Amino acid sequence: MNLILLGPPGAGKGTQAKLLEQKLNMLQLSTGDMLRAAKDKESEIGKKIKLIMAEGNLVTDEIVIELISENIDKSSKCAGFIFDGFPRTLYQADALSELMSSKKQSIDLVIEMRVDDSQLIERIVGRYSCKECGEVYHKVNRPEQKKGVCDNCKSINGFIFREDDTEEALRTRLFNYYRETSSLIGYYYAKKKLTTVDGLLPIETIHDLLYQATKNNL
Q: Which residues are catalytically annotated?
A: 13, 88, 127, 162, 173
> Which of 1, 13, 19, 20 contacts ligand AP5 by CB under 6 A?
13
> Which of 58, 96, 111, 130 contacts ligand AP5 by CB under 6 A?
58
Stretch that binds ligand AP5, among 21-29, 40-48, 81-89, 149-157 (CB under 6 A): 81-89
> Which of 78, 90, 149, 203 contacts ligand AP5 by CB under 6 A?
203
CA distance 218 to 211: 10
Position 20 contacts ligand AP5 (CB under 6 A): no
Which residues have a Cβ under 8 Å from the Cβ of 143 and sit 6 or more positions away?
A: 137
Residue 30 identity: S
> Which of 19, 27, 29, 88 contacts ligand AP5 by CB under 6 A?
88
Burial class of residue 147 in the structure, from the number of CB atoms within 10 Å of its CB (0-12 exposed, 13-18 middle, 19+ buried)? exposed
Helices (H) and strands (E) in the chain, counts: 9, 8
Residues of span 97-136 touching ligand AP5 by CB under 6 A:
123, 126-127, 136
Sheet holding 159-160, edge to edge: 136-138, 127-130, 159-160
CB of 164 to ligand AP5, least distance (A): 6
Let me know: does 198 contact 8? Beta carbons within 8 Å.
no
Residues engaged in binding ligand AP5 (CB under 6 A)? 7, 9-15, 31-32, 35, 52-53, 56-59, 64, 85-86, 88, 92, 123, 126-127, 136-138, 141-142, 164, 173, 199, 202-203, 206
